[in-house]
Amino acid sequence: MALEREKHLAERSLLTLSESNLLDLYRLMSLIRRFEDRVAEMYTRGKITGFCHLYAGEEAVAVGAIHALYDKDYVISTYREHGHCLAKGVAPQKVMAELFGKATGVSHGRGGSMHLFDTEARFMGGYAIVGGGLPLAAGLGLSIHYKEEPEVVCCFFGDGALPQGAFHETLNLCSLWKLPVIFICENNFYGMGTLTQRAICQQELYRFAEPYNIPGVRVDGMEVLEVYGAVLEAAARAREGVGPSLIEAVTYRFRGHSMSDPAEYRSKREERIWQERDPIKRFRRRLNERRVSGEVLDRVDREVDAVVEDAVRFADESAEPPISEVAKNVYVE
């Protein structure tokens, strides 16, 4: 499991990050959890349709990783990307409105849950082909390298992408060209309903870094500061021009693959064990160690509730995109 070094880095972050930074991490994780809970509710009520993959349980990965980046760094993700998009600073109103398919959504109702995007936040999209975002991350890295800019690309994908050719081609290319890309594999043990043991020949996924001559580490993806520490190091390497890194964040999704999946392939016992490792509850305990009181955190939760409530109201009240514009933006004119 997580290496001692990563644990140590996390301990150091708990001591060195300011209280307001730590509260930001908590706020974002709480926001994602509460946002996703409301999304599930809205889905059940028919306000959100199509495929919808929730991020509950994995919050520490997106929040820890993105906190280690600068605003101008790029983030690229998959179809389970609500969390990454919110952590990158995109307004919850615009994300919820996109899930509702409304004109005010980030993608003006053309994308839905799986295709969020925000140019300003440098959130470069959710992609619904497993492994599809990795070559794009290489290209974004190439554009940074070409223009000699200081940014990095943070590319999220699941364990399901490991057996894809795109993963291997992209790691080879990025290592060869020393591109500033941080690959973050969210290992939640299941590619849809298939256990990684039944899909991948190597269970220590970070070891796929070895053949590509890049650093690979495994972190506890339920510990936000561990993810933060690892990404901070990887980002520094990328900015120095040393090249890409692979980080395996071991995590768990608290819900099924999508809203239509009851996750019957997992035991209740297994789910309970992981619920006990809930990244938000765990971080609350860590914050208590730093003498941040429960009341302060409860207040944050209430503020977040209000934000999510407002996002739902905004999405619900927003207009549908006009049918007359169905063929708009097929081409750049």
The binder of another protein chosen from 109, 191, 229, 244 (CB under 8 A): 109
Q: Which residue's CB is nearer to another protein, number 74 or number 206? A: 74
The answer to whether residue 332 forms part of the interface with another protein (CB under 8 A) is yes
By CB under 8 A, tell whether 106 contacts another protein: yes
Shortest gap between Cβ of 245 and another protein (angstroms)? Answer: 18
Q: Which residues from 139-178 bind another protein, rule CB under 8 A?
A: 139-144, 146-147, 165-166, 169-170, 172-173, 176
Contact 278, 57 (CB under 8 A): yes
Nearer to another protein, 129 or 273 (CB): 129
Residue 286 tokens read as: 């860590």
Q: Which of 178, 180, 130, 177 is nearest to 158 (CA)?
A: 130
Q: Are 159 and 131 in contact (CB under 8 A)?
A: no
Separation CA 290–CA 243 (nearest Å): 35
Residues in the interface with another protein (CB under 8 A) total 42
Q: Residue 15, interface with another protein (CB under 8 A)? A: no
Window of 19-27, 57-65, 84-92, 106-114 that interacts with another protein by CB under 8 A: 106-114
Nearer to another protein, 130 or 217 (CB): 130
Dig out the tokens for 331 from the structure: 């081409």
Burial class of residue 3 in the structure, from the number of CB atoms within 10 Å of its CB (0-12 exposed, 13-18 middle, 19+ buried): middle
Question: Which residue in 64, 125, 221, 256 binds another protein (CB under 8 A)?
Answer: 125
Chosen residue from 73, 118, 159, 223 binding another protein by CB under 8 A: 118
Contact between 279 and 60 (Cβ < 8 Å)? yes
Q: According to the binding rule CB under 8 A, does residue 108 interact with another protein?
A: yes
What is each CA distance from 311 to 7, 48, 96, 195, in whole angstroms?
36, 13, 6, 35
Dig out the tokens for 287 from the structure. 């914050």
Pairing label, strands 181-187, 245-250: parallel
The yes or no reply on residue 6 touching another protein (CB under 8 A) is no
In the three-class reduction of DSSP (H, G, I as helix; E, B as strand; rest coil), residue 91 is classed as coil
Q: Which residues bind another protein (CB under 8 A)?
A: 74, 105-111, 115, 117-119, 124-125, 127, 129, 132, 134-144, 146-147, 165-166, 169-170, 172-173, 176, 328-332
